[in-house]
Chain A
Amino acid sequence: MTFRKISIACSFTTFGLYAVLILSLFYFFQGDKLVDTLLSERTLFSVRLSVAAATISTVFSILIALPAAFALSRYEFPGKTAVDTMLELPMIVSPAALGAMLLIFFNNPLGLWIQDHGAQFVFTFYGIVLAQFITICGVSTRLIKAAMDEIPSRYEAVARTLGASPGKAFLTITLPLSRRGIIAASILSWAKALGEFGATITIAGSMAMKTETLPIAIFMRLSSAEIEGTVILILILVSMGLSILYIVRSLSKGSSYA
C-alpha cells in the first residue's frame, strides 16, 4: 500500500468516526417527536438563548480581538510573548476549570464588588455570555492574527507614505484585506460559543427556561434518560454547526493576499 493510499485511508477513517457517531443518532430518532420537540417552548427558548448569548459574546470578542490581533501581528512590545501564550489558555484549560475560575473570581472581593455594583454574572444570562466570551476570545484573536499575518506590512507602510495615518491605513488596507479571515474567525467563534458547555454550566448553572442553552438542554435531557429528545437537540446543534463550517469554507477560498 502506498503512502498516498495510507494517508487517504486515514483521512476517511477520521471522517468515518464522526459520520458513524452522527448516523448512530438515527437509531433513536423518532420522526413523530421531531416537530413537537422542535416547537416546544423549552427547545425554542434554548435555541434563542444560545443564539443570543453566542452572538453577543462573539461581537464582544471580535471587538477586542481585532485591535489585539493587529498589535500582535504588527508591533513588538514588552510582554508580547506572554500575551501571545495566554491566548491559548482556553484551549489548554478544560472548560469546566475555566468556569470554576470565573466562579472563584466572583467570590473574591473584586468579583463581589462587581456583582454588587455592576451586573450579576453567577446563574444569569450575563454569566453565559461571559463564559462564552472567555472561551472564544483567545481563539478569535488567534484566528484574526493569522489572517493579518498573511498581509504583508509593506502595504500599510506604503499607505502611510501616501498620506494615511496608522488608523486610516488599518481601516483602508488591513481591514479590507483581512475581511474574509475576520468573517471566518467570527463564524468559528460563534459556532464555538454556541456549543460551549463546561464553563457555562459551571458559572450559570442549568436552570430550565433561565440558563438552559442548547448544550445544557442536551445534557439535562440525557440526564433524565430522555434519549429521543436528546437526539433531536443534538441534530439541531450538528446541523447549525456544519452549516456554519460550510459557510466558513466557502469564505476562506482565495483569501490570501500575501
Chain B
Amino acid sequence: MLEVTNLSARAGIFVLSNVSLNVLPSSCHVILGPTGSGKTLLLESVIGLRNPQAGKVILEGKEITCLPMERRGLSYVPQDLALFPHMTVRENILYPIRIRGGKQDIENGIVRELVDSLGINHLLDRSVRNLSGGERQRTALARAVASGCNYLILDEPLSALHESLKKELWYLLKDLQRRYDLAILMVTHDLEEAFFLGDTVSVILDGKVCQQGTTDYVYQHPASLDVAGFLGIRNLFHVRTERVTRDSLQAYCEDLGATLKFPRSTLKSGSAETSSFAVGIRSEDVAILMPGESKPDLTNIIEGSIQDIFENGAFLTLLVTIRSSSTSLEAALPRVTANKLGLSRGIPIFLHLPEESLFLVVRGSPDRLR
C-alpha cells in the first residue's frame, strides 16, 4: 500500500496542506480537482521531485519520503508523457531494464507480453517523434510498466487525447492494471475518467483534500457545497429542518417552495441537531411527470414549467422554472424519453425528486465529513 500522511508542500505562493491518502494494492486512487488545485504538486511530492515541507510517504510499510526518486519504486508518467525523443519506441521501453543492467532482449518475458498487449509491436523501431497521440500513450504506459514497479503515478496522462481514443485507453489501462496487478495513483480533472478508472477518489480544491472515499460514495454523497459544485451538480438548495423522525427527515426548501422528505440515513452522524442544510440532486436523477400522469404515493413532487431545453448528445437538459418561486432546477433525461413525452418550452410539468437520490450537505460543514 502507498500511504501519504499529512503531506504539506509549497510551490511559490501556492500551498498544499495536510494531505493524507492511501492507495491500496491493485487499486486505482484518483486525485480529482480543477486546474491549479495542487494535484500535480502532490504527485511531484510523492515521487520525490519536490521536497515536502511536512508529512510522510510510505510504500509497503517503508518510509520513502527522503529516498531519491530512483529508489522509491514509483513509476511516473507525466502529462506530456516525456518519451525520450532521441530514442526509438523499443529503446524507450527497454530504458528501465537497461538502466538497471537487465536483460535487453525484448522478445522474451514481460516486455514482449507487454508490447503485445498494448498493440505496439509494429512501432518498436520507430522514433517516438513520429507517433500519434494514442501510440505515444501506449509507449509511455509500456515503459512505465516495464520498469517493474507495481505503483504507477499518472499525471493526467490522457488529457491531450480526443474522446474516443481516451475511452479506448481507459479500457486498456484497466486491463493493464488487472494483468500486472498494478496500483495506480492518478490525477485528473475529468469527472468521467475519475469515476471510470478510480476505485477510490480524493477531491482536492485549493490545495486541500475536501472529500475522500470510494468513487461510488463520493459520486452519490458530495460532502460539501464546493465538492458538489465541482462535481457539476447545479441543483443545490438550502433547506431548514421541520421534523426528524426515526426513519425520515422533513425539511422546508424555500427555493423550491416545498417540504422535502429524506431518509433518516441521509443525515451524517452527529448532524441531527443541525437545522440548516443544503440539499442537492443530480439532474439525471430528477424524474419528469406530465400533468395528469398519476403519481400515487410519490413524495417530493414540485410543479414547474420548462424554461429552456438544451441538446446534450444522447441526453436533453431541461431548465425548469419552479412555479412557486423564480428558482430554476436542472433535469436531464434521455433523448428518446424526452421525444416520447413531447416536451417543449413553456409547458407545465411536475418534477419528482426521489428521496434516495437527494443528498444533504451541512452548511458550514467541515471540509471532510467522512
Contacts of B76 in A (CB 8 A): 157-158, 161
B70 interface residue, CB < 8 Å from A? yes
Among A152, A155, A164, A257, the residue within 8 A (CB) of B70 is A164
Q: How near does chain B come to A15, taking the closest CB pair, in angstroms?
A: 35
- Whether A177 pairs with B85 at a CB distance below 8 angstroms is yes
- Whether B99 pairs with A163 at a CB distance below 8 angstroms is yes
- Whether B47 pairs with A168 at a CB distance below 8 angstroms is no
What is the bound-complex CA distance between A165 and B143, given in angstroms?
Answer: 17
Contacts of B96 in A (CB 8 A): 162-163
Contacts of A157 in B (CB 8 A): 47, 49, 69, 76, 78, 82
What is the bound-complex CA distance between A176 and B86, given in angstroms?
Answer: 7
- Whether A158 pairs with B82 at a CB distance below 8 angstroms is yes
| Interface SS majority for chain A | helix
Most-contacted residue by chain B among A154, A162, A168, A172 (CB, 10 A): A162
- Whether B68 pairs with A160 at a CB distance below 8 angstroms is yes
Most-contacted residue by chain A among B68, B76, B80, B143 (CB, 10 A): B76
Query: Given A158-B78, A161-B69, A161-B75, does the pair A168, B99 have CB atoms closer than 8 Å?
Result: yes
Q: How near does chain B come to A209, taking the closest CB pair, in angstroms?
A: 47
Among B84, B100, B144, the residue within 8 A (CB) of A173 is B84
- Whether A257 pairs with B78 at a CB distance below 8 angstroms is no
- Whether B75 pairs with A162 at a CB distance below 8 angstroms is yes
Count residues of chain A with CB under 8 A from any CB of chain B.
Answer: 19
- Whether B82 pairs with A155 at a CB distance below 8 angstroms is yes
Proximity string of chain B (48-78) to chain A, C-beta cutoff 8 Å, 1 when within and 0 when not: 0100000000000000000011101011111
- Whether A161 pairs with B86 at a CB distance below 8 angstroms is no
A159 interface residue, CB < 8 Å from B? yes
What is the bound-complex CA distance between A166 and B48, given in angstroms?
Answer: 13
Contacts of A257 in B (CB 8 A): 85-86
Proximity string of chain A (7-35) to chain B, C-beta cutoff 8 Å, 1 when within and 0 when not: 00000000000000000000000000000
B147 interface residue, CB < 8 Å from A? yes
Among A155, A160, A163, A165, the residue within 8 A (CB) of B84 is A155
Contacts of A162 in B (CB 8 A): 70, 75, 95-96, 99, 143-144, 147
What is the bound-complex CA distance between A159 and B91, given in angstroms?
Answer: 12
What is the bound-complex CA distance between A162 and B147, given in angstroms?
Answer: 6
Residue of B nearest to A154 (CB): B82
Contacts of A164 in B (CB 8 A): 70, 95, 99
Q: How near does chain B come to A180, taking the closest CB pair, in angstroms?
A: 10
What is the bound-complex CA distance between A164 and B98, given in angstroms?
Answer: 10
What is the bound-complex CA distance between A257 and B70, given in angstroms?
Answer: 24
Residue of A nearest to B98 (CB): A172
- Whether B68 pairs with A161 at a CB distance below 8 angstroms is no
Q: How near does chain B come to A153, taking the closest CB pair, in angstroms?
A: 9
Among A159, A161, A173, the residue within 8 A (CB) of B47 is A161
Contacts of B85 in A (CB 8 A): 177, 257
- Whether B95 pairs with A161 at a CB distance below 8 angstroms is no
Most-contacted residue by chain A among B49, B72, B74 (CB, 10 A): B49
Contacts of B99 in A (CB 8 A): 159, 162-164, 168, 172
Contacts of A160 in B (CB 8 A): 68-70
Q: How near does chain B come to A101, taking the closest CB pair, in angstroms?
A: 40
What is the bound-complex CA distance between A158 and B74, given in angstroms?
Answer: 10
Contacts of A161 in B (CB 8 A): 47, 69-70, 72, 74-76, 147, 149, 153
Contacts of B77 in A (CB 8 A): 158
Contact residues of A between 152 and 208, Cβ < 8 Å to B? 152, 154-155, 157-166, 168, 172-173, 176-177
Q: How near does chain A come to B51, taking the closest CB pair, in angstroms?
A: 11
Contacts of A176 in B (CB 8 A): 86
Among A152, A166, A172, the residue within 8 A (CB) of B82 is A152
What is the bound-complex CA distance between A173 and B153, given in angstroms?
Answer: 21
What is the bound-complex CA distance between A168 and B84, given in angstroms?
Answer: 14
Contacts of A163 in B (CB 8 A): 70, 96, 99-100, 147
What is the bound-complex CA distance between A257 and B80, given in angstroms?
Answer: 13
Task: Sort A-B residue pairs by CB-CB distance and give the 9 closest, nearest first.
Answer: A162-B96, A160-B69, A161-B76, A158-B82, A154-B82, A164-B99, A160-B70, A257-B85, A162-B147
**Can you identify 12 A-B contacts, CB atoms within 8 angstroms?**
A157-B78, A161-B75, A162-B95, A162-B99, A162-B143, A162-B144, A163-B100, A165-B70, A172-B95, A177-B84, A177-B86, A257-B86
